[in-house]
Amino acid sequence: MKKATLSSITPFLIAILLTPLALAQDARIKIDTDRTIGEISPLIYGNFLEHLGRAVYGGAYDPDSPLADEDGFRKDVIKASKDLKVTLLRYPGGNFVSNYHWMDGVGPERIPRMELAWDRLETNEFGTNEFMKFTNKIGAEPYFAVNMGTGTISEAQRWVEYTNVESGPYYAELRKKHGFEKPWNIKYWSLGNEMDGFWQIGHLNAEDYSKKARETAKVMRLTDPSIKLIAAGASNFRPGANPMHWNRVVLEELKDVVDYLAVHMYVGNPDNNYYNFMATPQVLDERTQIVRGLITDVMSRADRGDRDPIYIAWDEWNIWYRARVGEDMTGVRALEEHYNLEDALVVSGFLNVFVRNADIVKIANMAQLVNVIAPMFTSETDMFLQTIYYPLQLFATFNHGTSLDVFVETDTYNTDTFFLGLGESQTQQNDVPYLDVSATYKNNGEVVINVVNRHLDKPITAEIISQTGMFNGTFEVYEVNGESIKSQNDFGKTEVETQRKKDLKLKGDSFEYAFPAHSFTLIKGKIK
């Protein structure tokens, strides 16, 4: 038989051979339990509840619903939140907080206000104490943001006094009059939200924000020295913005004051290009490294005594592009994204990034919990779990302990130049690995391996090698996948969910596993 030569191959066939479809090859993943990155903070599995759309009213809180408990909270939302293992719940915004006055939402008489960020009437029926009841029901730690837009330094101080001081001063006693004898002891407080954004009510430049934040932090810590403070880092990555200038100024000014720097990132697939979209977690990783470098530089000039260094809080992150224009942005049903399988894979990639950067990323909050760009979606009488719910649940359930520095050998691809989402900056990503991997390890020998196969059409078989100890015993396998990358869930329809696959019986220093196309797989077992 005559051998094919390059000249005998049609241009069409050459094009096929050069596409990502044809490039998937076998891979290697090396697990070395001595190569550690850092301890995983459970707070990276946080979420967010903002007064926006149907997140609070009609979502978490719906007293008129037949599904409500004695306090007006949706029982199905509580159960799904507990099953999701939400560790840290951010409140009350978001853009909402920059015109929010917490006193409107406590006590027997609530004051309705124009809600200017998302264009609705805010009844203030749900406020500080209702939120704390909700967090207690789902087992999450609260994380409050203070109003740095229209709010004052005194207002922030009084909120800490109301929530955290046991008795004596006026606002502590006011809480007791409202029926809450013991303080709530809120540990985590953000100094505003997205103050670098021109869209923010009370937007400030970096210098003015830092001055106000410093003085606000001072009185908050004088009220309760035990609190942890989060500075508002960059959220504006639009074309022409300079987010790292903002981060540097804020870090320089607040390096001796704050404990975390908050940064935000939303991505999307407005051009319907699967491979570009799958590369967006790589941009998250790049931004993490840039902020890490800024922190390292600034900390060399910090005077923090024996306090911890400054960590990164990715306290808003998600996929958001469908419900980001026109009437989808405001009102009662704002920001209601309907997610599919490819969204779930990107979420898995984001979580991989947080795990791989466990030494610096100590807080992460998906925005948001219910109905609004959220993993769960309700109607008046029903609920369904969105595709993104399942990787979140798997990571929060199994990925704890120490993050490992995993060696991965796999084929890669290059993207086009593309927008990260609506209104976001452009990027072009090279050497995007088809297999995106993280791993965690516990002292009892438990190892968890997380693998996203980004390949659209091809399974990729990887040899998984233990370089310290032996794989031994039964390994559980969980998979998130669907027939199509556009597979979705809806009321009465579940096309994507976690599937428990056949256990692996292993003994030795390596095994092979075929990771299906467009899938997320979690493998859990022990190394001895």
384 - beta bridge partners? 377
If asked whether residues 500 and 516 sit together in one domain, one would say: yes
480 and 359 in a single domain? The answer is: no
pLDDT interval class at 280 (50, 70, 90):
very high
Catalytic residue among 115, 316, 337, 479: 316
Whether 253 is catalytic is no
The CATH number of whichever domain residue 273 belongs to comes to 3.20.20.80
pLDDT mean across residues, the chain: 94
Cα–Cα distance for residue pair 49/372, rounded to 1 Å: 9
Give the alpha-carbon dihedral of 313, 316, 319, 321, to 10 degrees.
-140
Residues 502 and 520 in one domain: yes
d(CA 248, CA 294): 6
Task: Report the C-alpha dihedral over residues 232, 237, 241, 246, rounded to 10 degrees.
Answer: 20
The reply to whether 117 and 59 lie within a common domain is yes
pTM comes to 0.94
| 258 in a structural domain | yes
Confidence of residue 306 (pLDDT cuts 50, 70, 90): confident
Could you give the C-alpha distances from 339 to 53, 404, 420, 453, in angstroms and in order?
17, 30, 17, 19
9 found inside a domain: no
Omega of the bond leading into 94 within 30 degrees of 0 (cis): yes
What are the tens digits of pLDDT across the range 459-479? 999 999 999 999 999 999 999
- Residue 81 lies inside a defined structural domain of this protein: yes
Domain boundary among the residues 366, 399, 432 is at 399
Looking at the structure, tell me whether residues 294 and 274 fall in a common domain: yes
Evaluate whether residue 5 is within a structural domain.
no
Domain boundary among 399, 416, 444: 399
State yes or no: pLDDT of 5 exceeds 70. no
> Which residue of the set 194, 253, 342, 424 is catalytic?
194
Please indicate, yes or no, whether residues 395 and 493 belong to a single structural domain of this protein. Answer: no
Residue 49 shares a structural domain with residue 132: yes
- pLDDT tens per residue across span 80-137: 999 999 999 999 999 999 999 999 999 999 999 999 999 999 999 999 999 999 999 9
Average pLDDT value for residue range 356-375: 98
Same domain, 393 and 505: no
Domain that holds residue 426: 23-37+404-526
In a domain, residue 12? The reply is no
Residue 497 belongs to domain with CATH number: 2.60.40.1180
If asked whether residues 219 and 291 sit together in one domain, one would say: yes
Relative to beta strand 497-508, strand 471-481 is: antiparallel
Which H or E run contains 413? strand 412-413
| Domain count along the chain | 2
17 falls within a domain: no
Report residue 138 as tokens.
């789902």
Residue 316 is a catalytic residue: yes
pLDDT exceeds cutoff 90 at 23: no
Same domain, yes or no, for 363 and 453?
A: no
